Structure 1
Amino acid sequence: MTNHINQLTHAERDLIAGSSDFATDHWHLFDSRNDLAENHDLGEQYPEMLEQLVARWHAEAERNGVLPLSDGVFDRLPHLFLPWPSGASRVELRPGERVFEDNTPTLCNGFTITAHLGAPLVANDCGVLAEQGDYNGGWVWHLTESRLRFAVSFVSEFVTELAVAVPVGASTLQILGRPEANDGVELAALADGVVVGTGRLPHEWPGLWTPNSSASLLAGVGRPLPVCDGYDPTVPFSGVLERLVVAADGGAALADLTRQVEIAFRNQ
């Protein structure tokens, strides 16, 4: 393997040291049977073996039409699966269930996210109610430090959070998003139908979080890589989540597919 870093993935470039040019990539040699974490590079110890494997890789790449290598936007576009997304306007999940982004509603025209609880919230409830995406971009709804929080990470740099005190006794929680004319999004947090907090995204809600359907939606728990700082995605919701409903209130159609694909690549 090499130390190549994806040119499009913003967080990867910032967090991992490596090469962004195939011409200057450094090849590594690991013993995958005894070093699963790939901590010990054996390239200097076995240079001839490394040279043979690199030559074999290039031969196979040539034979399979992989060359010339490129990870730029224009070379990735032809490999996107279209039509995408599926056009779903509503999805319902049980705790622990997951659906990939191409089967989730597109929320850029407005949305309602509802958590139906099987028991009223208590003051010390914690954990993830729902999550979509990861540190490259996405959103998370969680309870941490006695606060109910809805956070959106845009292009892994701009994080907006709507946080309210845990609405003790509530059995239905909702997050509403309504797009504004100037590309912002009005947010509201509701408990049993009553508004308990409001906020605003200073940017539009992406129709696509990623161009490769990797921003899966999960109910009741998150992925190991968090959407943003401030919570542990592996901590499941400690209360009783009966079902999570995510609905696209403004319809499922993307008003400007070209614009949404551009945003999705920016999130990379």
Structure 2
Amino acid sequence: MKPPPFAYYDPTSVDEAVSLRAEHEFDSLILAGGQSLVPMLNIRLARPEVLIDINRIEDLQTVRVTDTHVEFGATVRQHHLEVDPVVREKLPLLPEMARYIGHVENRHRGTIGGSLAHADSAAELPTAAITMDAEMVIAGPNGVRVEAAQDFFAGWMSTTVDGDELLVAVRFPVPRAGTGYGFVEVARRDGDFALAAAAAQLTLDESGRIASAAIGVASITDRPVRAGAVERQLVGMLPTRASVREAAAAIVEEVTASDDMHATHAYRRHLAAVVTARAVTAAVARAS
């Protein structure tokens, strides 16, 4: 199938893109990597009057590194997370996560900002973002605002970006030295959407007990969620196989996804506990 007709713009600056968004608001859609939007256009799930292609905006293609943060422009490709040695050194959870995103071809074209703005509850990047306490940088007619990742995802494929705004970057804080990390996903086939996925970052104290924990879980509700109940049980715990599994079981109460063509509600409850326990176990093994 071919997409419906639309007016096409390819601005070369953030200001120009924001001006177009302000003029057309929810009648417009943003084209970044197109890995989700183009199929949606072709099967008429999306029918914008205006398509704003942001790939010519050089400011959105940059990576800024400081001692405390790494900021990715919205059109930085997902493949960058796999190959950049700075990312591997400062944010090792991201390359661990990135290999699960679609296929190699998708990651070479798909963008970091595109995945976050698309806000699929089964997607890997949103899950990593809430786990790592990322910040979303959003430009609009009134300037730039920053929103915490946990507040950014508003529901099924929905965010807090308004009709006259544009996600321009995402900022990840660099975890302290010795932080362990893990990402585990279960899908029917390699590259399929996750039936359940979990990301974990944690630290250990001198006695080997868990000092801090951040757990994000995907594909169990209408958005990626932080597993607060699991985190609270983990902190102060001496991690063993049994104790981690017991703590991870608390995630099942967060599962609201109903039966669908991919999995039943009961199976997702089971998987949520499994991937959470495995992600935490991997993070413990890497912590020092």
- TM-score normalised by structure 1 residue count: 0.25
- Structure possessing the higher relative contact order (Cα contacts under 8 Å, 6 or more residues apart): 1
Larger Rg: 1
The structure with the largest helix share of the pair is: 2
The structure with the largest strand share of the pair is: 1
- TM-score normalised by structure 2 residue count: 0.24
